[in-house]
Amino acid sequence: MNTAATDRPRILITGAGGQLGWELQRTFAPLGNVFAFDRNGLDLASPDALRARCREINPALILNAAAYTAVDKAESEPELAMRINGEAPGVLAEEANRLGVPLIHYSTDYVFDGAANRPYRESDATGPQSAYGLSKLAGEHAVAAIASRHLILRTSWLYGNRRQNFFLTMLRLAAARDELRVVADQIGSPTWVHSVSAVSGRCVMSHVSGFELKIPAGIYHLTAAGSTSWHGFASAIVAAMPLDQRRAAYACHITYGGETRHLEARPTTTPYTVAPTPIGSHFLFRIIFRQEPAELASIKLYTYTKHDTGPVIIHQASYPYPVRNTAPQGDFLRREASSLAGQGTDNGFTGLNLVYETVHDSELQYWCELKADSAK
């Protein structure tokens, strides 16, 4: 009979439905038998349910990643937030002490007042400004006072590939909206949830009978290095997206008669419905931007001159999409297009193009770029 599986130490993880809880399951699965529970499987607002679950499993390690995380809603539900964030960690600490096992508890930067102009240190005075922050601080105090073998890991601005978080929200909005407006007056350290989970795994040492902490019990700040605003974070997210995943616009800057017009074209699936735009008294300009189907993905530019019988095309250019930094194909220019110094940049800069119309001896100039939306 193979008893290896049953002999492995048991690990209790709360908050299994959250992004951190999900990562912790992946990190700790090789170290023992993981028993992970989300809010449906374990009611943290019920001390009796918590105690019963701990005594059913008898874990060798407890990781508390569960929390009441609705920061704004906590203002109207402070009692519930306190039961889950403040009192439940104390119950888990009691059970950890009874079993003589380590407890790793996750907290937040909301335990501070946010007024510092430098990164907070573990030794800094706390001063929560919200019901959520007060409840999380109460949980820290309970764990520190009760559990002799504990780690309290404070983190901030967690993001990952699961559940709802700022990172995934920005990806979704950038693909759907022309403009994103994000605040720039809050500063923090966006932290990849996988890193928090991986570091947690390195904080313990497993052996046949259970787990030992590799570092002294206490409070530790666990965030990514550096800092930025929500606006800066959003801008970095959008900038890192492939152009064909962003809601992009092809922008042309057209100068005629000393004035410059700025035209933008969004992707269209019905190119023949795109009407040309009048430029001065003699020209019309049209941009056709297609992203799908893939075999027709392209950006086509047309310049027309006005005639008594209707618009007459005098220039066209076609670029494959995504844009390649090459000269236009099928160019009907009366003059050769000249290049500006910016040609060859990542946004598909076309260089300066000159279009000459002989009947009225008129000329327009244009250059175009592929623009992906960014946070504002």
197 and 291 both lie in a single domain: no
Same domain, residue pair 264 and 235: no
* Reported pTM: 0.68
Domain boundary among 240, 275, 302: 240
> How confident is the model at residue 376, as a pLDDT?
57
User: In terms of DSSP H, where are the helices of the chain?
Assistant: 4-7, 19-28, 47-57, 78-81, 88-99, 131-146, 166-174, 193-202, 230-240
The pLDDT of 195-204, averaged and rounded, is: 95
Same domain, 10 and 146: yes
DSSP state for residue 178 in the 8-state scheme? S
Contact in structure between 18 and 65 (CB atoms under 8 Å): yes
* Residue type for position 133: G
One-letter amino acid at 88 equals A
Average pLDDT over residues 275-281: 92
User: The domain spanning residue 228 has which CATH number?
Assistant: 3.40.50.720
Residue 113 has pLDDT above 50, yes or no: yes
Mean of per-residue pLDDT scores for the chain:
85
> Residue 292's pLDDT is what?
74
> Average pLDDT of 6-23?
92
Q: Which of 130, 354, 367, 167 is nearest to 263 (CA)?
A: 367
Say whether both 194 and 299 belong to one domain.
no
Say if strands 298-305 and 228-229 run parallel, antiparallel, or are unpaired.
unpaired
Percent of the chain whose predicted confidence (pLDDT) is above 70: 86
pLDDT at 229 over 50: yes
Could you tell me if 167 and 252 lie in one domain?
Answer: no
Asked which of 40-54, 135-149, 313-327 is least confident by mean pLDDT, the reply is 313-327
The residue ranking higher by pLDDT, 237 or 293, is 237
- Same domain, yes or no: 219 and 78: yes
Question: Do both 232 and 260 map to the same domain?
Answer: no
Task: Indicate the residue among 215, 240, 265 that finishes a domain.
Answer: 240
Rg value, the chain, Cα: 30
Residue 244: which pLDDT band, with cuts at 50, 70 and 90?
low
Looking at the 3D structure of the chain, how many domains does it have?
2
Same domain, 324 and 232: no
Cα 177 from Cα 372, distance rounded (Å): 11
Same-domain pairing of 260 and 350: yes
The answer to whether residues 62 and 157 belong to one domain is: yes
Tell me the per-residue pLDDT of 317-366, one tens digit each, with 9 for 90 and over.
Answer: 888 776 543 444 333 333 233 333 333 333 344 678 899 988 888 899 99
Residue 251 banded pLDDT, cuts 50, 70, 90: confident
Residue 175 contacts residue 247 (beta carbons within 8 Å): yes
Same domain for 203 and 258, yes or no, is: no
What's the average model confidence in pLDDT over 120-141?
A: 96
Catalytic residues: 132
Could you list the residue range(s) of the whole structural domain that residue 64 is in?
4-240
Please give the pLDDT value at position 96.
Answer: 96
Question: What are the start-end ranges of the E strands in the chain?
Answer: 10-14, 33-37, 61-64, 103-108, 150-155, 158-159, 187-188, 191-192, 204-207, 210-213, 218-221, 228-229, 248-256, 259-265, 277-279, 283-290, 298-305, 312-320, 353-357, 362-372
Q: Give me the pLDDT at residue 6, please.
A: 60
Q: Examine the pLDDT at 299 and tell me if it is beyond 80.
A: yes
Q: In this predicted structure, what is the pLDDT of residue 92?
A: 97
Domain boundary among 223, 240, 257: 240
**If you ran DSSP here, which 8-state letter would residue 294 be given?**
G
Asked which of 7-11, 35-39, 293-297 is least confident by mean pLDDT, the reply is: 293-297
Residue 296's pLDDT band, with cuts at 50, 70 and 90, is confident
- Claim to verify: residue 107 and residue 221 sit in the same structural domain: yes
